[in-house]
Amino acid sequence: MLWIKAFHIVFVVSWFAGLFYLPRIFVNLALAPADSRAERERLLLMAKKLYRFVTPIGVLAIGLGLWLWFGYGFAGGWLHAKTALVIGLVGYHLWCGRLLAEFAGGNSTKTHVWFRFFNEVPVLALVAICILVVVKPF
Ligand code: HEM
């Protein structure tokens, strides 16, 4: 069980690296002047590669979490609250995919300020999830 939990944490950390960095690239894309074609294409390529790389990592993080849950009989309100937050994170991840498609299509309308607030969402989720799974308050 400890090997599964160890790799669960490894993939969780890697997934969050992507969830933290992708919106940061969006901030820079929103800031990049419309005529700076080379810079926009470089940022877009980085974002596409990162999204493609981090998606299977997220799937593995969740898969190993479900293995822990159903394979080792974990239970409790904390796990339900945690899973609800993780479902929210999956929605956030997919939303990043849609925002990336908007940038690729040249029709993103959101400002860099909007993306700065958007970038903070995974931070709040991470804090809440870690408190739930380590402290297990309910
Ligand atoms: C549906 C997805 C997930 C499920 C079902 C799940 C389930 C679990 C379970 C059952 C454990 C073992 C708890 C224990 O040993 O006390 C665990 C450990 C852990 N999970 Fe998840 N998890 C999921 C996603 C995540 C995510 C997204 C994070 C991000 C922060 C996360 C962070 C952790 C941490 C840090 C531990 C180690 C806790 C400890 O050893 O005390 N998990 N997870």
What confidence category does residue 84 fall into, taking pLDDT thresholds of 50, 70 and 90? very high
Residue 34 scores a pLDDT above 90:
no
- Rounded to the nearest whole angstrom, what is the distance from the C-alpha of residue 133 to the centroid of ligand 1? 6
- Rounded to the nearest whole angstrom, what is the distance from the C-alpha of residue 111 to the centroid of ligand 1? 34
- The four Cα atoms 57, 130, 47, 49 give a dihedral, to 10 degrees, of -20
- Rounded to the nearest whole angstrom, what is the distance from the C-alpha of residue 117 to the centroid of ligand 1? 26
pLDDT digits (tens, 9 = 90+) for 41-74: 999 999 999 999 999 999 999 999 999 999 998 9
Residue 39, both tokens:
């810079």
- 119 DSSP 8-state letter: T
Mutation probe of ligand 1 site: the residue of 82, 127, 136 with most atoms within 8 A of C-beta: 82
Residue 7 scores a pLDDT above 90:
yes
